[in-house]
Amino acid sequence: GDSVTQMEGPVTLSEEAFLTINCTYTATGYPSLFWYVQYPGEGLQLLLKATKADDKGSNKGFEATYRKETTSFHLEKGSVQVSDSAVYFCALSRSGYSTLTFGKGTMLLVSP
């Protein structure tokens, strides 16, 4: 079956550091890939997405590229802020947004 593997957290960074959260997936065909973010006390919010190979999703300074050859969708940001502290979930879907398969989530903690 489909699965998503993302790096264990927490990831602890200082403000303005470079961020990478790794995500790899297993799925047949060509799934859509997503990154969701969950801020403390809030629901999951879609951060970015990519629907086909070599697509780059980007939002709020975050970006991730759909790499079919390595089955990866790593999340990156050049300079993190304290306000980026949250839990980040990588996910895939083979039917649009309907049913999502999630990774375990990675907590990011950014200190001033």
User: Does 4 contact another protein by CB under 8 A?
Assistant: yes
Nearer to another protein, 1 or 112 (CB): 1
51-to-9, 18, 97 alpha-carbon distances in Å? 26, 25, 11
CB 66 within 8 A of CB 52: yes
* Closest to 101 measured CA to CA, from 23, 7, 8: 23
Task: Confirm or reject binding of residue 35 to another protein (CB under 8 A).
Answer: no
Span from 19-27, 40-48, 60-68, 75-83 in contact with another protein (CB under 8 A): 40-48
Question: Segment 92-111, which members bind another protein (CB under 8 A)?
Answer: 96-105
Q: Is 12 in the site for another protein (CB under 8 A)?
A: no
The number of C-alpha atoms within 13 Å of 98 and in the hemisphere containing its C-beta is 4
Positions that interact with another protein (CB under 8 A): 4, 36, 41-46, 89, 96-105
